[in-house]
């Protein structure tokens, strides 16, 4: 506390207590206002943080579910995933297919003849050909085999062609490989310029690599060969689409597998329940931030307490938007247009419940419509995600609200500083006034004592003379 006193030496009054009481009485109304507003702003900031976290979690769940595979009406199964794996897409129909893989599609793997490791190449260029594509790699005078390898990698890596040096007891070779598979994708190298580059020539389709000739290693690039229900098929890649309508599969190894396409009832139920769970988690969080609780105190008097966002207009608008999309219809849902057709209804607290019996019936009869209802343009998941985007996006409604509350707290901090300074000055002023009063009272008491002493002396003198 500013100011000093010796606590009423002259007057006998507790000046510190008097000044403190006066200052507190002056400070109390404004301090109460500032404290109340700070508490409210901090409580709302915390609530908005919780709300944004809940919305972000909900939106992430929607984005994960908003995929055709999550709500595919059909599912595909491979009896031997060691032979092939399969996925189902649009246009698939139920059925079973026996697939026998004879061999996988292979890529070109070629090597030069052995090259003296001390070789220094003259200036020239290498023309590297794969299928219908050709690339030119320049070689500078004095380049080593490592320099040639590095030049090929830096220029052709984006084309899927890479080079390395393999060395055995005889010496090093330049080896090239490719990510491109299938017959006709063999790599060949032609050299021009200095004759020292001739040792880098490779015939990738007609010659097998040897000590004195560049060519393919083991075998030339091949197509995959397989049969579907006995029909002979081939593919330049090991990822096959179009062979079975709506089904894509990846060949893994030679062997046989039965590919079965059937109703994806269990998968659909899992995805639908995941949507309901994520929505319910969001609504439960919002309910906790907006609830009003009526209780009674120990004396039986009713009391009401409200959560931080109770009656908040923005939160009400958010909930209204979510509910509007929830009861809206999807354009691509076929025979399914409303959640109620899937046995999903809204409870009194705003969360969703599922009637498993109705859901099973709906999925049995209308499984092909579920995907369009939930996913894609105009689907429920996209519409629900769009309804919260304006709140969660950078500088969205929640960020703006948070910024405003932080500004309010900054203003309140400024008001608190001003109030503290003003009360310090008031304390100093009151202490000075009360200390001056105390000094005056002390002086008056001293004067009074002196006067009384003089009067007493005069009285005694008068008595003695008489």
- For residues 360-376, average pLDDT: 86
pLDDT at 9 over 60: no
Burial (CB < 10 A; 0-12, 13-18, 19+), residue 304, is exposed
| Range scoring the smallest mean pLDDT among 97-106, 122-131, 403-412, 437-446 | 437-446
Higher pLDDT, 159 or 438: 159
Q: What is the DSSP string of 149-177?
A: HHHHHHHHGGGTEEEEEEE-SS-EEEEEE
Q: What is the pTM of this model?
A: 0.67
Question: Residues 229-280: pLDDT tens digits?
Answer: 999 999 999 999 989 999 999 999 999 999 999 988 889 999 999 999 999 9
Question: Residues 300-345: pLDDT tens digits?
Answer: 788 788 888 998 999 999 999 999 998 888 777 678 888 999 999 9
Structure confidence at residue 2 (pLDDT) = 47
pLDDT-above-90 percentage for the chain: 71
pLDDT classification of 5: cutoffs 50, 70, 90: very low
Q: Which of 228, 221, 230 is nearest to 243 (CA)?
A: 228
Long-range contacts of 288-295 (CB under 8 A, 24+ apart): 289/47, 289/50, 289/51, 289/315, 290/315
């Amino acid at each position: 506390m500013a100011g000093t006193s010796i606590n009423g030496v002259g007057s006998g009054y507790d000046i510190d207590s008097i000044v403190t009481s006066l200052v507190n009485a002056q400070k109390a109304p404004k301090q109460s206002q500032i404290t109340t507003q700070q508490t409210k702003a901090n409580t709302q900031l915390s609530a908005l943080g919780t709300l944004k976290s809940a919305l972000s979690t909900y939106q992430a769940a929607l984005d994960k579910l908003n995929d055709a595979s999550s709500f595919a009406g059909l599912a595909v199964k491979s009896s031997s995933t060691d032979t092939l794996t399969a996925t189902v897409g649009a246009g698939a129909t139920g059925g079973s297919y026996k697939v026998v893989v004879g061999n996988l599609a292979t890529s070109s793997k070629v090597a030069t003849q052995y090259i003296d490791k001390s070789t220094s190449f003259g200036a020239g260029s290498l023309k590297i050909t794969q299928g219908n594509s050709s690339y030119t790699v320049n070689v500078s005078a004095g380049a080593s085999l490592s320099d040639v390898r590095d030049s090929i990698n830096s220029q052709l890596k984006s084309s899927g062609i890479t080079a390395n040096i393999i060395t055995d007891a005889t010496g090093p070779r330049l080896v090239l490989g490719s990510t491109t598979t299938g017959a006709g994708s063999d790599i060949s190298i032609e050299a021009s310029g200095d004759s020292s580059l001739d040792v880098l020539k490779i015939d990738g389709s007609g010659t097998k690599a040897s000590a004195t000739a560049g060519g393919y290693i083991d075998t030339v690039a091949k197509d995959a060969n397989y049969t579907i229900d006995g029909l002979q098929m081939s593919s330049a890649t090991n990822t096959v689409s179009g062979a079975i309508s709506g089904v894509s599969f990846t060949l893994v190894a030679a062997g046989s597998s039965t590919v079965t396409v059937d109703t994806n009832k269990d998968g659909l139920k899992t995805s639908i329940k995941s949507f309901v769970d994520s929505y319910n988690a969001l609504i439960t969080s919002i309910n906790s931030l907006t609830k009003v609780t009526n209780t009674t105190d120990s004396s039986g008097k009713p009391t009401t307490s409200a959560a931080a966002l109770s009656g908040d207009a923005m939160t009400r608008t958010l909930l209204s938007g979510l509910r509007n999309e929830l009861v809206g219809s999807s354009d691509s849902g076929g025979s399914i247009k409303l959640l109620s057709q899937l046995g999903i209804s809204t409870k009194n607290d705003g969360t969703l419940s599922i009637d498993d019996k109705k859901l099973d019936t709906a999925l049995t009869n209308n499984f092909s419509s579920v995907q369009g209802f939930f996913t894609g343009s105009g689907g429920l998941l996209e519409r629900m995600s769009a309804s919260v985007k304006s709140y969660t996006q950078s500088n969205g409604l929640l960020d703006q609200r948070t910024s405003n509350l932080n500004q309010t707290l900054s203003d309140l901090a400024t008001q608190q500083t001003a109030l503290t300074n003003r009360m310090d000055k008031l304390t100093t002023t009151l202490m000075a006034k009360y200390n001056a009063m105390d000094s005056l009272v002390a002086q008056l008491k001293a004067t009074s004592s002196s006067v009384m002493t003089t009067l007493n002396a005069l009285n005694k003198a008068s008595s003695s003379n008489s």
